[in-house]
């Protein structure tokens, strides 16, 4: 049986409190908006003291960044090296499916809607969202194409350009915008997998010409 030292026990307790804070913040930010949510209210909903809250997150900006980073990690897109097998088509399909799943996650869609509404007020959330979410994922995809280029895969060009083309194909901006506007429902898992497969096939076909 594992021996739990006071230090380990305290660390686990802290992780539990952090998770409670993140969970409360996700719900409150989406319900009340970023500006309408106070740190005091967050502490109350998370059932932690304000001292505990501030020991984990210096301010709401830091808390919001953690929420976005955690969401990216949920879909293994912060570091997807564990997903890869070395076969480019299979690797790209794994990345594309994860990206589709993240993109059409109900909470992620709600977060994008919130960021769009905040953008009108020159909110710092927009920059935080880009850095911790889309920008972070894009950088990892560009890194992947850089490693493919170094191996001489398909005569790839600039990794940044390849990542731009790939993500544009995977995201399907028209469908995503229709989901954001509640014109279409979030595509089901089978449809997302099909979309990912078609995006990868199109990308690889373009690279052969």
pLDDT in tens, 83-131: 788 889 999 999 999 999 999 999 999 999 999 988 877 778 999 999 9
Helix 159-171 and helix 173-180, axial crossing angle in degrees, nearest 10: 50
If asked whether residues 96 and 43 sit together in one domain, one would say no
Give me the domain span that covers residue 52: 6-57
Determine the pLDDT at residue 119.
Answer: 83
If asked whether residues 87 and 161 sit together in one domain, one would say yes
Determine the pLDDT at residue 10.
Answer: 42
If asked whether residues 108 and 183 sit together in one domain, one would say yes
Q: Are 172 and 80 in contact (CB under 8 A)?
A: no
Q: Alpha carbon 73 to chain centroid distance?
A: 7
pLDDT interval class at 11 (50, 70, 90): very low
Residue 197 maps to a domain: yes
If asked whether residues 45 and 124 sit together in one domain, one would say no
Residue 179 maps to a domain: yes
Of 43-47, 156-160, 177-181, which gets the smallest average pLDDT? 156-160
Residue 71 maps to a domain: no
If asked whether residues 39 and 135 sit together in one domain, one would say no
Determine the pLDDT at residue 208.
Answer: 79
Mean pLDDT of 4-9: 36
Mean pLDDT of 146-167: 89
Residues 6+ apart with CB under 8 A from 42: 21, 24, 25, 28, 53, 60, 63
Q: What is the pLDDT of residues 184-197, one digit of tens each?
A: 999 999 999 999 99
Q: Are 84 and 78 in contact (CB under 8 A)?
A: no
Q: Are 196 and 101 in contact (CB under 8 A)?
A: no
Indicate which CATH number applies to the domain containing 36. Answer: 1.10.10.60
Residue 171 maps to a domain: yes
Determine the pLDDT at residue 8.
Answer: 37
Residues 6+ apart with CB under 8 A from 166: 92, 96, 141, 145, 199, 203
CA dist., res. 92 & res. 112, Å (int): 24
The total of structural domains in the chain comes to 2
Sign of the alpha-carbon torsion through 75, 30, 113, 132: negative
If asked whether residues 185 and 128 sit together in one domain, one would say yes
Which segments within 43-92 are labelled E, that is strand?
none
Question: Token pair for residue 195?
Answer: 């979309």
If asked whether residues 28 and 89 sit together in one domain, one would say no
Residue 103 maps to a domain: yes
If asked whether residues 86 and 49 sit together in one domain, one would say no
Instruction: Give me the chain's average pLDDT, please.
Output: 89
If asked whether residues 30 and 106 sit together in one domain, one would say no
If asked whether residues 186 and 121 sit together in one domain, one would say yes
């Amino acid at each position: 049986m594992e021996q739990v030292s006071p230090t380990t026990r305290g660390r686990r307790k802290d992780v539990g409190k952090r998770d409670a804070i993140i969970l409360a913040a996700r719900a409150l930010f989406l319900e009340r908006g970023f500006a309408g949510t106070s740190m005091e209210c967050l502490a109350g909903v998370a059932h932690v003291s304000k001292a505990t809250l501030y020991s984990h997150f210096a301010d709401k900006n830091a808390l919001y960044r953690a929420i976005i980073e955690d969401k990216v990690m949920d879909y293994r897109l912060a570091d997807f090296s564990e997903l890869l097998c070395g076969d480019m088509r299979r690797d790209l399909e794994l990345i594309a499916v994860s990206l589709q799943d993240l993109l059409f996650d109900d909470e992620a869609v709600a977060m994008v809607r919130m960021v769009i509404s905040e953008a009108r007020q020159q909110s710092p959330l927009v920059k935080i969202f880009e850095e911790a979410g889309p920008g972070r994922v894009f950088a990892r995809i560009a890194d992947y194409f850089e490693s493919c280029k170094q191996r001489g895969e398909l005569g790839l060009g600039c990794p940044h350009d390849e990542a731009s083309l790939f993500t544009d194909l995977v995201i399907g901006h028209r469908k995503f915008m229709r989901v954001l506007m509640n014109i279409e429902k979030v595509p089901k898992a089978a449809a997302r997998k099909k979309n990912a497969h078609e995006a990868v096939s199109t990308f690889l076909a373009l690279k052969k010409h």
